[in-house]
Amino acid sequence: MLEEDAHDRRNSASIDDLRKIQGAARNLLELINALLDLTKIEAGHMPVVIERFTPAALLDEVMDGIRPMAEKNGNHLRSEIDPALMEIETDRTKLRQILLNLVSNACIFTARGEVRVHMAGDMAGGCWIRVEDTGIGMDAEQLRRVFEPFVQADASTTRKYGGTGLGLPLARDYLALLGGQIEAESSPGVGSRFTVLLPARPAVPSGEQGKAS
CATH number at residue 190: 3.30.565.10
Given its phi and psi angles, is residue 49 left (phi above 0), alpha (psi -120 to 50 degrees) or beta? beta
User: Minimal CA–CA distance to 127: which of 58, 62, 188, 74?
Assistant: 58
Q: Quick one: 109 and 150 in the same domain?
A: yes
The pTM of this model reads 0.79
Sign of the four-CA dihedral 22, 28, 31, 35: negative
Q: Quick one: 175 and 91 in the same domain?
A: yes
Q: Quick one: 110 and 29 in the same domain?
A: no
Q: Quick one: 17 and 66 in the same domain?
A: no
Over the stretch 146-199, which tens digit does the pLDDT of each residue have? 998 866 545 555 445 555 678 899 999 999 999 999 999 999 999 999 999 999
Domain ranges, residue 42:
1-46
Mean pLDDT over each residue of the chain, to the nearest integer: 84
How many structural domains compose the chain?
2
Contacts of 207 (CB under 8 A, 6+ apart): none
Q: Quick one: 22 and 54 in the same domain?
A: no
In angstroms, rounded to a whole number, what is the distance separating the alpha carbons of residues 128 and 139?
A: 25
Q: Quick one: 129 and 94 in the same domain?
A: yes
Given this model, what pLDDT does residue 41 score? 81
Q: Quick one: 122 and 162 in the same domain?
A: yes
In angstroms, rounded to a whole number, what is the distance separating the alpha carbons of residues 163 and 172?
A: 17
